[in-house]
Amino acid sequence: MIVLADILSATLIFAIPLLLVALGGMFSERSGTVNIALEGIMIIGALSSSLYLKFANTSGFGAANPQLAMLIAVIVAAFSGVIYALLLAFAAVSLRADQTIGGTALNMLAPAFAIVLTWAIQGQGQTTIYIPTWIRITPEAFGLARSQNPAFFEALIFKNFYLTTPIAFLLLAVAVILLYKTKFGLRLRSCGEHPQAADSVGINVYKIRYVGVMMSGFLAGIGGLAYTIAAGSGFQSTVSGYGFLALAVMIFGNWKPVRIFGAAMFFALFKVIGSYSGSLSFLPSFSGIKNSQYIYQMLPYIVTMIVLVFTSGKSRAPKAEGIPYDKSKR
Amino acid sequence: MKKIKKRFFQNAGFASFLSSLTAIGIGLIFGLVLLLLFNPAKAFNGFSQILFAGASTMAKFAKVLYQAAPLIMTGLSVGFAFKTGLFNIGASGQYLMGAFFALFTGIVLKQPWWVALFSAMMGGALWGAMPGIFKAFFNVNEVITSIMFNWIGLFAVNLTLSNIPSILANYYGASSAERTAVLGAANPSAMIPKMGLDKIFGASYINISIFLTILIAVIAYIVLNKTTFGYELKACGYNRNASIYAGINAKRNIVFSMVIAGAFSGIGGGVYYLSGTAQYTIEKILQAMGFNGIPVALLATSNPLGTILSALFVSYIQVGGEAMQPEFAKEIIDIIISVIIYLSAFSLLFKGLITKFLSKNKPEYADEEESGEVAS
């Protein structure tokens, strides 16, 4: 049972960054802008919030008010993501540049910038920014005693409990309401489907698309922090392709928030099975094969491909995504 | 003569070349500003390393050529797919497959270099075919399939290499089981011939791969621009529905163009690992060479001939970036390249300004120019 709790809790912690970033991608693409720069935005969010946490740790503020410092870190991650995403919005919306090219440039810029800045701050060759351990939410914070042998629910909830998890669920709920129950959501979706029609009824397509890209920056920035926490070894100027995986999760989730959550959990579950394969007794062990862990590490990608084959017949991308809107060509 | 000159200066290709140059200039200035911010005392020294280190010695220049060869191939791969309206972000996996097939053919099957290179091409083509097939027959976005197959390829190669003892370095007496054997020890005939280039440059790693890849780029240019097949591929890229209406088999073309793109990346992996200098290390990280093909292709606006120049340029400043270590992190080069790519995203804007500027100087040709535009 404890193994099951461990797996579920690890699945959740890996699903959170995928969920946040894929939701970000969804807002951008639903407004009509392909955001391939999610990877870069994640790195910038992770970089700035890791630097903030490092600063909060050395000043002593963090250890005294861990969750307040963590909340500030989330905000720092979100807003640095927004600022970075503005670079994409400027190129893709204002200058009507090719969205893939702008995104690729930002993906390349972010890790290089992170390495150069980390070197400049920490000294040459010091490529890791360590995340302080006080950010984890412990049972003590709720007045619960820490037991020697945690029971199922305690292991499930508190083994990997960080402030990013409740925030992610909150943002998921906000995303659903925003997209389907508000005037803004309707406008956002209309700009992604038929911007000319949206413009003809007085919606400012450029403004909506700016907001869509900025929202993706906001979510992907937090996602970068969530990834760094999940990875566990500090920030090393990379998010290991999670931005691109989130793109896959978004398409897998058919550009719909709740389905994106399902897709993120599904992918994370197989990912976790892959990395826990050695300690799971019910899995075949392939004893004749060396380094058989690679079989399980391949699994999430293969399973995703198979699922995509069966589901993508019904898959429907926003119609106008990737096409810069030019008012003069209406 | 005057007419030829005019055509040259006002041709769309020239304008995009100028706009690329503008972007490069601004990118380099941005790099200089960064160097000044981080370490003003050594900034100008570092900057001159970026600009001149690649040509400072014959050995450095040999390194520029050596690294440019696989970059040309991955750049061609990404660019070829772009021309047909597909985004091949899977060059990394295809490159890796090419490397694996080349090393397997060279080390285990003991074949000569050209067989190994052919097999690298087949490996890349196989991995490139996947996104094409999934896109054409199952309507799965090629970006997703490419990303998934990058990782599947990485783990598959690592798994296979771990289970072929005779391909690993420790089989030939070296201590490490985490990397492939040195080609010189396992099968010297699998090394791409040097034809005396190593003596001319005084560097052991240079071989004829740069000429091979330039030749392939020229062939790609001819196929894309001078044949019916290339025309069909491009037509699918411009407007898929119109090309289907015109009787072009779009599904077949999607698969073909991804197979060809994959084959290019595969050759890239082949030429890099068949040089005899490089050993593949079993790691859980995707190969950067495949991703570097994206900026190379973008800088060349996907033109195969432009890819040669942009790969040489990227390789040149990368060598310069290595030379400015340890004062500065070599990632400053990546920042410069990404600024250049970012600016080239507005190439249309630049191009418009440049064409406007050029035609302003020669107003008498204004009418003629427009008809020339259509013809070219």
Say what the pLDDT of residue A148 is: 61
> ipTM score of the complex?
0.87
Say what the pLDDT of residue B3 is: 59
- Alpha-carbon distance B169 to B162, whole Å? 11
**B329 vs A196, higher pLDDT:** A196
Nearest to B68 by CA among B295, B278, B318, B294: B318
Say what the pLDDT of residue A146 is: 62
Q: How many CB atoms lie within 10 A of CB B114?
A: 14
Of the candidates B140, B152, B162, which has its C-beta nearest A308's C-beta? B140
A239, A8 Cβ separation under 8 angstroms: no
Of the candidates B138, B151, B344, which has its C-beta nearest A301's C-beta? B151
Please say if the pLDDT value at position B375 is more than 60.
no
Nearest to B53 by CA among B352, B373, B316: B316
Reported as type and span, the H/E element at residue A258 is: helix A257-276
Question: Is there a contact between B341 and A115 if contact means CB atoms under 8 Å apart?
Answer: no
Of the candidates B148, B162, B337, which has its C-beta nearest A304's C-beta? B148
Residues of chain A contacting B151 with CB distance shorter than 8 Å:
241, 298, 301
Q: Structure tokens of B354?
A: 């440049």
Long-range contacts of A261-266 (CB under 8 A, 24+ apart): A261/A15, A261/A19, A261/A172, A263/A22, A264/A15, A264/A16, A264/A18, A264/A19, A264/A22, A265/A11, A265/A12, A265/A15, A265/A19, A266/A303, A266/A307
A234, A227 Cβ separation under 8 angstroms: no
- Alpha-carbon distance B155 to A294, whole Å? 5
Lowest mean pLDDT among A2-16, B60-74, B191-205, B313-327: B191-205
From the number of C-beta atoms within 10 Å of its C-beta (0-12, 13-18, 19+), residue A290 rates as middle
Name the band, by pLDDT with cuts 50, 70 and 90, for residue B362. Answer: low
B247, B237 Cβ separation under 8 angstroms: no
Name the band, by pLDDT with cuts 50, 70 and 90, for residue A316. Answer: confident
Q: Where are the alpha helices (DSSP H) in chain B?
A: 2-10, 12-38, 43-52, 58-83, 91-103, 113-138, 142-162, 183-186, 197-201, 209-226, 228-238, 240-245, 250-273, 288-299, 304-323, 331-344, 347-361, 366-375
Which segment, A177-191, B24-38, B232-246, is predicted with the most confidence on average?
Answer: A177-191
Q: What angle do CA B263, B265, B270 make, to 5 degrees?
A: 90
Separation in Å, CA of B149 to nearest CA in chain A: 8
Say what the pLDDT of residue A70 is: 92
Of the candidates B143, B155, B345, which has its C-beta nearest A294's C-beta? B155
At B52-90, the pLDDT tens digits run 888 888 888 999 999 999 999 999 999 999 988 888 989
- Alpha-carbon distance A148 to A141, whole Å? 17
Q: What is the mean pLDDT of residues A152-163?
A: 77
Residue linked to tokens 């019910």: A282
Q: At what angle do helices B12-38 and B43-52 cross, to 10 degrees?
A: 150
Q: What is the mean pLDDT of residues B250-259?
A: 92
Name the band, by pLDDT with cuts 50, 70 and 90, for residue B12. Answer: low
Q: Structure tokens of B57?
A: 């010695």
What's the half-sphere exposure (Cβ side, CA atoms, 13 Å) at B131? 31
Please say if the pLDDT value at position A147 is more than 70.
no
Amino acid letter, residue A316: R
- A259 Cβ partners below 8 Å, 6+ apart? A253
At B142-190, the pLDDT tens digits run 888 998 899 999 999 999 998 888 888 888 877 777 888 888 788 888 8
- A98 Cβ partners below 8 Å, 6+ apart? A324, B345
- The SS3 call for residue B33 is helix
A245, A18 Cβ separation under 8 angstroms: yes
Instruction: Report chain A's mean pLDDT, rounded to a whole number.
Output: 87
Residues of chain B contacting A112 with CB distance shorter than 8 Å:
331-335, 338
Number of domains in chain A: 1
Domain boundaries, chain B: 8-39+328-376, 58-323
- Alpha-carbon distance A23 to A223, whole Å? 10
From the number of C-beta atoms within 10 Å of its C-beta (0-12, 13-18, 19+), residue A276 rates as middle
Per DSSP, the residues of A117-141 read HHHHHH-TT---BPPPGGGSPPGGG
- Which CATH number is B58-323's, of 1.20.1280, 1.10.238, 1.10.3470, 3.90.930? 1.10.3470
B280, B99 Cβ separation under 8 angstroms: yes
- A265 Cβ partners below 8 Å, 6+ apart? A11, A12, A15, A19
Separation in Å, CA of B282 to nearest CA in chain A: 11
Q: What is the mean pLDDT of residues A249-256?
A: 89
Say what the pLDDT of residue A60 is: 85
Q: Structure tokens of B113?
A: 């270099």
Instruction: Report chain B's mean pLDDT, rounded to a whole number.
Output: 85
Question: Is there a contact between A312 and B141 if contact means CB atoms under 8 Å apart?
Answer: yes
Does A67 reside within a domain? yes
- Alpha-carbon distance A206 to A147, whole Å? 55
Say what the pLDDT of residue A237 is: 86
Separation in Å, CA of B6 to nearest CA in chain A: 28
Name the band, by pLDDT with cuts 50, 70 and 90, for residue A244. Answer: confident
**B72 vs B369, higher pLDDT:** B72
Q: What is the DSSP letter of B179?
A: B
Does A276 reside within a domain? yes
Please say if the pLDDT value at position B353 is more than 80.
no
Separation in Å, CA of A79 to nearest CA in chain B: 21
Does A142 reside within a domain? no
At A16-55, the pLDDT tens digits run 999 999 999 999 999 999 998 999 999 999 999 999 999 9
Nearest to B148 by CA among A14, A194, A305: A305
A88, A40 Cβ separation under 8 angstroms: no
Give the whole-number percent of chain B exceeding pLDDT 90.
40
At A225-243, the pLDDT tens digits run 999 998 887 898 888 888 9
Say what the pLDDT of residue A61 is: 87
Please say if the pLDDT value at position B371 is more than 60.
no
Q: Structure tokens of B212?
A: 């091979």
Residues of chain B contacting A36 with CB distance shorter than 8 Å:
143
**B217 vs B327, higher pLDDT:** B217
* Interface membership of B346 toward A (CB under 8 Å): yes
Please say if the pLDDT value at position A290 is more than 80.
no
Using alpha carbons, list the distances in angstroms from residue A43 to A105, A180, A232, B223: 14, 30, 15, 40
Which domain covers residue A108, as residue numbers? Answer: 2-137+154-329
Does A145 reside within a domain? no
Please say if the pLDDT value at position A185 is more than 50.
yes
Separation in Å, CA of A84 to nearest CA in chain B: 13
Q: What is the C-alpha radius of gyration for chain B, rounded to an integer number of angstroms? A: 22
Say what the pLDDT of residue A222 is: 97
